[in-house]
Structure 1
């Protein structure tokens, strides 16, 4: 399915330091706030839109990314959550279901614990609950740890084809011929340069790995969708089975996690198979 054929509209929402670009796709359901990951953009949800055209989605470009690249000020999980409150206010939305992918899951948790009256339930996609930092990782080492993701900022691409080839070298389970992936990456580019702030990425990553999380204060229903691997087949997942069991013993509102066989971190949402599982989790939260 060509996602460009689906109904959507971009809105501009004032926040501290500038304005967020927010894509809104209206359909049959009440709106769902969808929050993308640390180096992504609002078109991360292309596969969810294609797999679940019944869902109405509110999809911001987070500050420092794509259409919100020019927003000034320090990026943090708290700041993103405050931005999401501004988005809900601007659209006249009281309480919504929230779906967050990777770092977006951590933003969703911050939003749900600091503004619980605005969140009806959470769907966390391979993120949001505590992740163990790689052995020996320190905040000072984050630029090296994120070098593959940030390497695209140091160069200019002749077009989407070149960017697509570069991107998929480190994403072995994504299909280079997928038009939804092409559309996602095209949204990053202006004049051959990727609209992504390295400062925002590193600041947000530091929050994820080294900041304090209030996840134990989550009161509403929580669905966790997680990958079998991290990057490619047979790599350790972000959430091993033992960690999932620990989360469930401490958080009564966390339902049985949904692990998607044959997926890595990106493929949990950037494939039709992964997006279909995420859509089911969203519908289950909304049913409450």
Structure 2
């Protein structure tokens, strides 16, 4: 079921999928959309999922700047209020993991637990600057200015770089088509860049987490053998500092996207959600 939730600047599009569990508030990544959770729902349709398009993306593209992790957290509280949910388990992927941490820190009574997917904990960024981030995300930002004849054309573009995703996967096509309207990708580039900069340069303080937390992370970042966002050694260091980190799980042979955009990755996420719900 689709809901429209009023937030400062407009309305967020929110997909709500019933299940046999307590609700999971599922937060997508920096240039993604609510259909990122297609694979989770296919793998475990019993998990009840509340999946918003964050401001500046897809069905919420008209809700733009100013954007920040705190603003996203406030938007998500509005989603919970709209659905009359006192609290939810929160699952965030990539930037969505950092939004989840911000939400847990700022509104601790609204968050029952956290499942973080390749995000939420600081990523190595020596010498990184806003200008470097803008350059790194230039290709993603440029999608909004391009014309795509159909979802298949957008899929070909999307898969043109290193990837472990299946181009024939109908869930991938549905995910990508959700981005499109009138042959254009619905993405506010300035919102995306603002969110990326904050995520990488001034992430929320993960040491303040007081909710039960589980982490799923990838062996690689983009494609096989690429440098990962997290290593087992770094996660072990974080675990020593955060008693609430109940479990961390590396998905071998998976990159950042494949942690959730494949059935194998989604199965690991589903298992971790079931363990915390």
Structure-1-length-normalised TM-score: 0.94
Please, which of 221, 245, 257 is the counterpart of residue 254 of structure 1? 245
Query: Match for residue 214 of structure 2?
Result: 223
* 2: CA distance, partners of 1:212 / 1:71: 22
Query: Match for residue 135 of structure 2?
Result: 144
Please, which of 138, 148, 163 is the counterpart of residue 157 of structure 1? 148
1:104-253 to structure 2, matched below 5 A, reads 104-133=96-125, 135-253=126-244
* 2: CA distance, partners of 1:233 / 1:73: 35
1:148-199 per-residue CA deviation (whole Å, 9 max, x = no partner) reads 3223222110111110000011251011100000000000000110000110
1:250-276 per-residue CA deviation (whole Å, 9 max, x = no partner) reads 001112311001100000000000000
* 1: CA distance, partners of 2:46 / 2:244: 26
- CA shift, 1:29, in A, is 1.2
What is the RMSD computed on CA atoms of the aligned residues?
1.0
Please list every run of 5 or more consecutive structure 2 residues that lacks an aligned counterpart in the other structure: none
* 2: CA distance, partners of 1:70 / 1:46: 23
* 2: CA distance, partners of 1:172 / 1:11: 33
Query: Match for residue 61 of structure 1?
Result: 53
Q: SS state of the match for residue 59, structure 1? A: strand
Q: SS state of the match for residue 245, structure 2? A: coil
1:46 aligns with 2:23: no
Detail structure 1 runs of 4+ shifted over 3 Å in the superposition: none
Please, which of 10, 17, 27 is the counterpart of residue 25 of structure 1? 17
> CA 1:201/1:72 → structure 2, altered by over 3 Å: closer, same or farther?
closer
1:83-122 to structure 2, matched below 5 A, reads 83-122=75-114
* 2: CA distance, partners of 1:69 / 1:136: 31
* 1: CA distance, partners of 2:35 / 2:24: 15
Is the CA contact (8 Å cut-off) linking 1:171 and 1:266 kept in structure 2?
no
* 2: CA distance, partners of 1:81 / 1:177: 35
